[in-house]
Structure 1
Amino acid sequence: MPSIKKALHFLLSAKATAWSVGILGYGMSTEWAVSKMRCSKDENVFSNGSATVTYQLFNGVINREFCPQFGGGNTFQVFKKLSETGGAPQIIHGLVITLLALCLLCSAGSILIALYNSVSNPYQTYMGPIGLYTCSSGSACISFLVLILYVVNVQLSRMADDLVQNDVGGTAVYLKDKTSEFKVGYYLLIPYTVLSLLSILLVYLYEHAAYTHRREQQRPTEDAPKEIMMY
């Protein structure tokens, strides 16, 4: 059986990872971003027409005011709607969802390994601290990549423009002055990343202390006083 100290460190690591999974799960179900833009039927005349696109990961809402005429509001499935226009926004959004699924998978692996180590003494294999480091660091790195990819898709691609144009239908509209604001779902990736790193730190602190203790018990005999060496 592992020592109480080891069990405590690994249980705290599992708890931190479980919190991160809860945070990410909630974040994936709420709003991620809102894009607003001006809208007009005439390329040279922009009055008070506007369009707002609110994104979740899987669903979204488009609200149009005088865009192009009376406007309207519709809900949509993000990936399905993007598949109608295709291109980079669809690919990046699909990649974001895939990477988030990998985050959850890595976190699940980290929790299982931490719980296993809290009740047993495995060797230094993938079921020991090495496995936990790999899973948790994978979660942190992948979630950081998602932060970057989602910003690129919302800010730099034509995702919002294509969604509004597709919602309008065959009527040509002109869009400009797009501004985007990121919401709670996006920002919850940050505490998820921090908690994944914290789960690594908790195990590392125990491993470092245990290693230091072993080194102190295995000091070479030349460090002993000369009086003891004579006997």
Structure 2
Amino acid sequence: MPSMTKTLYFLLSALVTAISVGLLGFAMSRKWSHTTMDCAPIGSDLFNGTAVIKMTLFNGMFHRDSCPSFGSTASFDVFPLMGKTGGTAVVLQVLTVGLLALCLLFSAVSILISLYNSVSNPYQTYLGPVGVYTCSSLSACLSVVVLIIYVLNLGVTNTPEDMVIIGYDVEVELRNKSLDMQVGYFLVIPYTVLSLAAVFMIYMYDHAAYTQRREQERPTEDAPKEIMMY
């Protein structure tokens, strides 16, 4: 049977990682962004209309007010519409979802490694702590990359403007874009923190195990010289 210390640390790592997976799965189903733009007909300087895009990772909703006609609402699928705006937007969106899927995969592997080591030989570890370090660290790093890519795709490029024009097939001028991130986006942050917490749990076990091994090697080193002579 494994020691109580080993079981405790690996079970805590598995629990923390499982919570992070639940958070990320929930985040992927929630709204990620809310983009608002001022709108005016082509050639007009009167930007008295607004266009709003509310998006999850896979679908979204248009809201228009005097852009260029009276208000209207329409839903859309993210990937097909981004595909019409140009290659960069849809590539970044595919990359975002793909990296999130990899995060879930690495977290699942980290959970399996932690659970296995919590019941394995007390003097051996299988792919851990190195396995947990690798999988959980990759999950944390990839989730940070996701946060950056998503903001770049909607905040830096003209993707939202192109989506409004192509989605409604209208010629309008759009300016003063305002991007507000929503709950789905922000839930990735605690996922990152929990992934790093899993690494910290196993580091604490690894440090404790190393300290114990050093203490077991010390009796001979610390023995009185008179005893060692015999």
Same fold (TM > 0.5): yes
| Contact 2:32 2:56 survives alignment (8 Å) | yes
Shift in Å, 1:124: 5.0
Gaps of 5+ in 1: none
Secondary structure of the residue that 1:51 maps to in structure 2?
Answer: strand
What corresponds to 1:70 in structure 2?
70
| Contact 1:14 1:110 survives alignment (8 Å) | yes
Shift in Å, 1:167: 2.0
- % identical aligned pairs: 52
Paired amino acid for 1:89? A
Shift in Å, 1:130: 1.1
Structure 2 matches for 1:88-107, cutoff 5 A? 88-107=88-107
Structure 2 matches for 1:36-75, cutoff 5 A? 36-75=36-75
Q: TM-score, normalised by structure 2?
A: 0.95
Q: Which moved more, 1:138-147 or 1:37-46?
A: 37-46
| Contact 2:85 2:159 survives alignment (8 Å) | no
Shift in Å, 1:119: 0.8
State the 4+ residue runs in structure 1 displaced beyond 3 angstroms.
122-125, 220-223
Structure 2 matches for 1:122-161, cutoff 5 A? 123=124, 125=126, 127-161=127-161
| Contact 1:92 1:149 survives alignment (8 Å) | yes
Paired amino acid for 1:202? M
Q: 1:207 to 1:97 in 2, by over 3 A?
A: same
Deviations 1:118-157, CA, capped at 9 Å, x for gaps: 11128455x3221111111110010011111111111101
Q: 1:88 to 1:76 in 2, by over 3 A?
A: same
Deviations 1:168-215, CA, capped at 9 Å, x for gaps: 21x311101101111111111110001001111111101110111111
Gaps of 5+ in 2: none
| Contact 1:124 1:130 survives alignment (8 Å) | no
What corresponds to 1:197 in structure 2?
196
Paired amino acid for 1:160? P
Aligned residues: 229
Secondary structure of the residue that 2:174 maps to in structure 1?
Answer: strand
What corresponds to 1:84 in structure 2?
84
Secondary structure of the residue that 2:62 maps to in structure 1?
Answer: strand
Q: TM-score, normalised by structure 1?
A: 0.94
What corresponds to 2:32 in structure 1?
32
Deviations 1:60-92, CA, capped at 9 Å, x for gaps: 111000101113111111111111222211110
Query: Is 1:172 aligned with 2:171?
Result: yes
Question: In 2, Cα distance between the equivalents of 1:221 and 1:39?
Answer: 81
Secondary structure of the residue that 1:47 maps to in structure 2?
Answer: coil
What corresponds to 2:183 in structure 1?
184
What corresponds to 2:18 in structure 1?
18
| Contact 2:40 2:67 survives alignment (8 Å) | yes
Shift in Å, 1:44: 3.8
Secondary structure of the residue that 1:45 maps to in structure 2?
Answer: coil
Shift in Å, 1:28: 0.4
Q: 1:3 to 1:222 in 2, by over 3 A?
A: closer
Secondary structure of the residue that 2:70 maps to in structure 1?
Answer: coil
Query: Is 1:225 aligned with 2:224?
Result: yes
Paired amino acid for 1:203? I
Secondary structure of the residue that 1:219 maps to in structure 2?
Answer: helix
Secondary structure of the residue that 1:218 maps to in structure 2?
Answer: helix
Question: In 2, Cα distance between the equivalents of 1:128 and 1:50?
Answer: 54
